[in-house]
Structure 1
Amino acid sequence: MKVLHVITGLAAGGAEQQLRAQLPYMRADCEVAVLTGSGVVAEAIEASGVPVHRVDMRGNRDLRALGRLARLMRAGRYEVVHTHLYRACVYGRLAARLANVPAIVATEHSIGKELIEGRRITRPVRALYLASELLGHVTVAVSPTVADRLATWGIPRSRIVVIANGVDARAFRYDPRLRERTRDALGLPREAFVVGGVGRLEPGKRFDLLVEAMLGLDDTFLLLVGAGSRRLQLENLARALGVDRRVIFAGESPDTRAMLSAMDVLAAPSQEETFGLAIVEALAAGLPVLYDTCPAVDDLPRDAAPGARRVTPGRLGAELKEMASTRPSRLTPPGAVRLYDIRHQVDQLEALYRRLLGAPGNEERR
């Protein structure tokens, strides 16, 4: 079975890292097509031996990229095209139709109440998404929360399959020696208490709340891992508050395990999450987690993730101050991590591919 994964970009974001994590466990012959700039995740995927095709899309209205993508699909004779993220879903599903690909799957990673991948959900954005959805065969929702939102948009439940994101617990296992090396490389004192934030530096992640919390946390450091349009604003905020010496911007990192090993707590103040992959990865690393929204935890029984606690923005600073004074020890990865084992996720995805390819009249489905 030959599969082409189409994704908008390959910088270090949740959907991108999830694709990277899946590929080593897939039995199918997989390749990746990236529409826009690639980044560290593309390099890591190529280093693992998986081909990455760069479509070099110049903007949202670059229709020539559609032709290049369709030609790639025809030449590659892919049996399955699996799209990820908004722009890739819009262009990838249409290109797959033009190339007569037998099975077209999309994964919805980041549809929120008001935002989809950081952009405001306007009527045109929603209409284009729904029109492109009709060109595929099934949409995978990464959580029941996402499935409910898709259904609210008007997508029939019969076209939605819930397959949760997966985590390879071994890939995030805490390593005290790696912790020391990473702290040394980042200029973090070995004995300091370090609050971590992982994700795109965009408004929806609300990392400004973490920078502001540093004002009341003497001798505590903040480690932000990720890139995005808000970096300069966050740097200016840290400087204005006089905490810039204690806020470390690590940028994109292909080694999430090293970054999580360097932290003492992960804080995730985002109000709009469709899964919360960074939170599950942090739990796999034995970190306590303070979060605002996380379907990956909230959709489970209460005792499945005892290390993760929901904290309102107004309480975040006080909770972090308490943790900095008590220095909680590293935790044993909870049951939630086992429930989201990436091998189980990949098995479900490949079973879905086989079902679509084996369904009679698949090419006639809307």
Structure 2
Amino acid sequence: MRVLHVITGLGVGGAEQQLRLLLRHLPAECEVVTLTNPGAVADGLRADEVPVTNLGMHGNRDLSVLPRLARLIRAGRYDVVHTHLYRACVYGRLAARLAGVRTVVATEHSLGETQMEGRPLTLATRTLYRATERLGSGTLAVSETVARRLDGWGVPPARVHLAPNGIDPEAFAFSAAARLETRDRLGIPQHAYVVGGVGRQVPGKNFDDLIRAVAANRDAHLLLVGDGPERTPLLRIVHQVGAGGRVHFAGSHEHPAPREPGVPDLLSAMDLFVSPSPEESFGLAVVEALAAGLPVLYVACPAVEDLAPQDAPGARRVGGYELAAAIRQELLAGSRRMPVPAAVGHYHIARTAQAVMALYTAVTATAAGAPTPLPAPASSGAPTAPAQDSPGAQPGTTALAPAEK
């Protein structure tokens, strides 16, 4: 099966990283087109031997990209066109229809209650989304929360299918050696209690609240992993609250330079993970932290909230105003590693790939006139793939030995 993935950009971001990981597990011949910004993830895809084409779009209203994308789709003779992110969904569905391709699937990565991809939702955005959604064969929601939001937008539930974001759990397993080396490299005392946060440094992520909460706990350090337009304002806040010696910034580290710590190493260096964002579509960084055995505090995380409480016992929801007190409570409990919970196995990338392939198979069969039913819609509550045991799960928590602190 030949599949063309169309995405708005390939800079470092959650949807972009998720696409690269997914393509490593999809049993299909895949190519990628980016409308603009062929960044670090494009380099990573090419390193994985996935062909990447950049259309060089100059803005949201650069209509010249539409005929060029249609010609590319027509020439490629693809079985499925799969779109990712708002702009690519709008242009990709239209271009596929112009190219005569009816088997178009979209993944909705970032639909919040009041914003999409970090931008406020408007009536025009919603209207254009719904109009072009009808041109596709179905939409994959990354969480049940997103599926419910699509239903609220008026997208027919039968057209929405669940394919949660996924991770490779083994890649995030705790490493005592990485903990020691990463702390040494970043200048973090080995004995320090380290609170961590991972994500794009943009206003909606509320990392400013996390900085203030850690500053209120003088025995704690903060390790922020990521980059973005809010980096300078966040540095200013660190100075204002007098926490300069206790707040450590690390870059995006999706593609670290040789010998530089990657996200799994940075998670090993932490003692507590905090997600302060009040609005999320999934919460992938929380799942990665759980795979590393970290206790987690979160303000909003559909990945956890959509599951039974016992599937992620180490994750606790708190209000943004409670962060300082909640961090203090965890600090007093001491540094420890939690057993890898069932939630991690539930979000294995192999399950995601299986759900995506099931929809590909169904829509191509339907287009060919075969009587193959579509996968159960997200609203049915049916599982997308057989359950898997969580890798590395253990019956109890493990306190860090003094030499590892």
TM-score (norm 1): 0.94
Q: Which residue is equivalent to 1:288?
A: 295
Please tell me the residue identity of whatever aligns with 2:299.
D
Please report how far the alpha carbon of residue 217 of structure 1 lies from its aligned counterpart in structure 2 after TM superposition. Answer: 2.0
Please tell me the residue identity of whatever aligns with 2:366.
A
Mapping of 1:97-108 within 5 angstroms? 97-108=97-108
Q: Is the 8 A contact 1:94 1:132 kept in 2?
A: yes
Q: Is the 8 A contact 2:162 2:355 kept in 1?
A: no
Q: Is the aligned partner of 1:85 residue 2:85?
A: yes
Q: Is the 8 A contact 1:80 1:105 kept in 2?
A: yes
| Residue-by-residue CA offset, 1:261-303 (whole Å, 9 max, x unaligned) | 2221110011111111111111011111100111111111111
Please tell me the residue identity of whatever aligns with 1:150.
L
Q: Which residue is equivalent to 1:205?
A: 205
Q: Is the 8 A contact 1:211 1:238 kept in 2?
A: yes
Please report how far the alpha carbon of residue 31 of structure 1 lies from its aligned counterpart in structure 2 after TM superposition. Answer: 1.5
Mapping of 1:104-143 within 5 angstroms? 104-143=104-143
Query: Once structures 1 and 2 are overlaid, which stretch shifts more, 199-208 or 244-253?
Result: 244-253
Q: Which residue is equivalent to 2:341?
A: 334
Q: Which residue is equivalent to 1:18?
A: 18
Seen in structure 2, the aligned counterparts of structure 1 residues 245 and 67 have a Cα distance that, compared at 3 Å, is: farther
| Residue-by-residue CA offset, 1:201-231 (whole Å, 9 max, x unaligned) | 1111111111111321224221222222212
**Structure 2: how far apart are the matches of 1:349 and 1:305?**
25
| Residue-by-residue CA offset, 1:73-98 (whole Å, 9 max, x unaligned) | 22322211111111111111112212
Seen in structure 2, the aligned counterparts of structure 1 residues 262 and 9 have a Cα distance that, compared at 3 Å, is: farther
Q: Which residue is equivalent to 2:389?
A: none
Aligned with residue 279 of structure 1, among 283, 286, 310: 286
Aligned residue pairs, count: 362
Q: Which residue is equivalent to 1:62?
A: 62
Q: Which residue is equivalent to 1:258?
A: 265
Please tell me the residue identity of whatever aligns with 1:135.
L
Q: Is the 8 A contact 1:197 1:224 kept in 2?
A: yes
**Structure 2: how far apart are the matches of 1:97 and 1:229?**
36
Q: Which residue is equivalent to 2:380?
A: none
Seen in structure 2, the aligned counterparts of structure 1 residues 39 and 193 have a Cα distance that, compared at 3 Å, is: farther
**Structure 2: how far apart are the matches of 1:137 and 1:207?**
38
Q: Which residue is equivalent to 2:189?
A: 189
Q: Which residue is equivalent to 2:387?
A: none
3-state SS of the aligned residue for 1:25?
A: coil
Please tell me the residue identity of whatever aligns with 1:261.
S
Root-mean-square deviation over aligned CA pairs: 1.6
Q: Gaps spanning 5+ residues in structure 2: where?
A: 255-261, 370-405
Aligned with residue 322 of structure 1, among 295, 314, 329: 329
Q: Is the 8 A contact 2:103 2:367 kept in 1?
A: no
Q: Is the aligned partner of 1:306 residue 2:310?
A: no
| Residue-by-residue CA offset, 1:299-347 (whole Å, 9 max, x unaligned) | 1111110110001112111111232233231112101111112111111
Please report how far the alpha carbon of residue 360 of structure 1 lies from its aligned counterpart in structure 2 after TM superposition. Answer: 4.0
| Residue-by-residue CA offset, 1:143-182 (whole Å, 9 max, x unaligned) | 1111111011111111111121112111211112222232
Q: Is the 8 A contact 1:11 1:252 kept in 2?
A: no
Q: Which residue is equivalent to 2:44?
A: 44
Q: Gaps spanning 5+ residues in structure 1: where?
A: none
Aligned with residue 350 of structure 1, among 350, 353, 357: 357
Please report how far the alpha carbon of residue 71 of structure 1 lies from its aligned counterpart in structure 2 after TM superposition. Answer: 2.5
| Residue-by-residue CA offset, 1:9-65 (whole Å, 9 max, x unaligned) | 222222122112111111101121122213322222221221222222111111122
Identity of aligned residues (%): 53
Q: Which residue is equivalent to 1:232?
A: 232
Seen in structure 2, the aligned counterparts of structure 1 residues 256 and 96 have a Cα distance that, compared at 3 Å, is: farther
3-state SS of the aligned residue for 1:223?
A: strand
Query: Once structures 1 and 2 are overlaid, which stretch shifts more, 109-118 or 59-68?
Result: 59-68
**Structure 2: how far apart are the matches of 1:45 and 1:181?**
29
Q: Is the aligned partner of 1:31 residue 2:31?
A: yes
Please tell me the residue identity of whatever aligns with 1:8.
T
Seen in structure 2, the aligned counterparts of structure 1 residues 309 and 64 have a Cα distance that, compared at 3 Å, is: same
Query: Once structures 1 and 2 are overlaid, which stretch shifts more, 175-184 or 295-304?
Result: 175-184
Please report how far the alpha carbon of residue 361 of structure 1 lies from its aligned counterpart in structure 2 after TM superposition. Answer: 6.1
**Structure 2: how far apart are the matches of 1:338 and 1:124?**
39
Q: Which residue is equivalent to 1:155?
A: 155
Query: Once structures 1 and 2 are overlaid, which stretch shifts more, 47-56 or 293-302?
Result: 47-56
Q: Is the 8 A contact 2:298 2:317 kept in 1?
A: yes
Query: Once structures 1 and 2 are overlaid, which stretch shifts more, 266-275 or 319-328?
Result: 319-328
**Structure 2: how far apart are the matches of 1:306 and 1:286?**
11
Query: Once structures 1 and 2 are overlaid, which stretch shifts more, 146-155 or 3-12?
Result: 3-12
**Structure 1: how far apart are the matches of 2:39 and 2:225?**
15
Q: Is the 8 A contact 1:183 1:190 kept in 2?
A: yes
**Structure 2: how far apart are the matches of 1:360 and 1:71?**
21
Please report how far the alpha carbon of residue 70 of structure 1 lies from its aligned counterpart in structure 2 after TM superposition. Answer: 2.1
TM-score (norm 2): 0.86
Please report how far the alpha carbon of residue 253 of structure 1 lies from its aligned counterpart in structure 2 after TM superposition. Answer: 1.3
Q: Is the 8 A contact 2:9 2:34 kept in 1?
A: yes
Seen in structure 2, the aligned counterparts of structure 1 residues 172 and 359 have a Cα distance that, compared at 3 Å, is: same
Q: Is the aligned partner of 1:218 residue 2:225?
A: no
**Structure 2: how far apart are the matches of 1:71 and 1:244?**
53
Of Structure 1 and Structure 2, which has the larger fraction of its residues in helix?
Answer: 1
